[in-house]
Amino acid sequence: MSEALAVAKRFTDTYSAAVTGRDKTAIMSLYAPDVRVFDLWSTWSHEGADTWGDSIGEWFDSIESGTHSATFTDLRAYGDHDVIVAESFVRYSWHSPEGELEWMDNRLTWALVQHKGEWVIAHEHTSAPVNAETGLVVTKREVDAHHPNS
């Protein structure tokens, strides 16, 4: 495993555990103070860790009881000792109040940089494709057996 992929894997593991535990402090420990986040939801961009932390707090506050997870697949990472770009698909899943399993898929890219000797996320970008016919965001990823990265 390359160093870049090992760093990215540590980030996805920490992020996943923080989502499961609804641990805002653990998630925010991954981000640079001046992070810029292009999130899939509502706000055009979040400027700085305080603003992004507020959004994370609102997300965790909105979560009803039950099991929640963030599962990363097809993680890739490129870079060296200064900058790493990590990309992955991430599935956010939870059980609805009726007990049904619900989920939403995103595409995720992180730009990781060194800050005071530690890797941090300097930029995060999440997205999902838009259905050309309906104009709606597609949040359920169908995996084609002939093209596993679809």
**pLDDT at residue number 97:** 72
Q: Is the pLDDT of residue 8 over 70?
A: yes
Instruction: Tell me the DSSP string of the chain.
Output: --HHHHHHHHHHHHHHHHHHHT-HHHHHTTEEEEEEEE-SSS-S-EESHHHHHHHHHHHHHHPPSS-EEEEEEEEEEEE-SSEEEEEEEEEEEEE-TTS-EEEEEEEEEEEEEEETTEEEEEEEEEE--B-TTT--B--SPPPBTTBTT-
Q: pTM value?
A: 0.87
Q: Is the pLDDT of residue 146 over 60?
A: no
Write down the mean pLDDT value for the chain. Answer: 88
What CATH number does the domain located at 3-127 have? 3.10.450.50
Give 80-139 pLDDT, tens digit per residue. 889 999 999 999 998 877 778 888 899 999 999 999 999 999 999 999 878 888 887 777
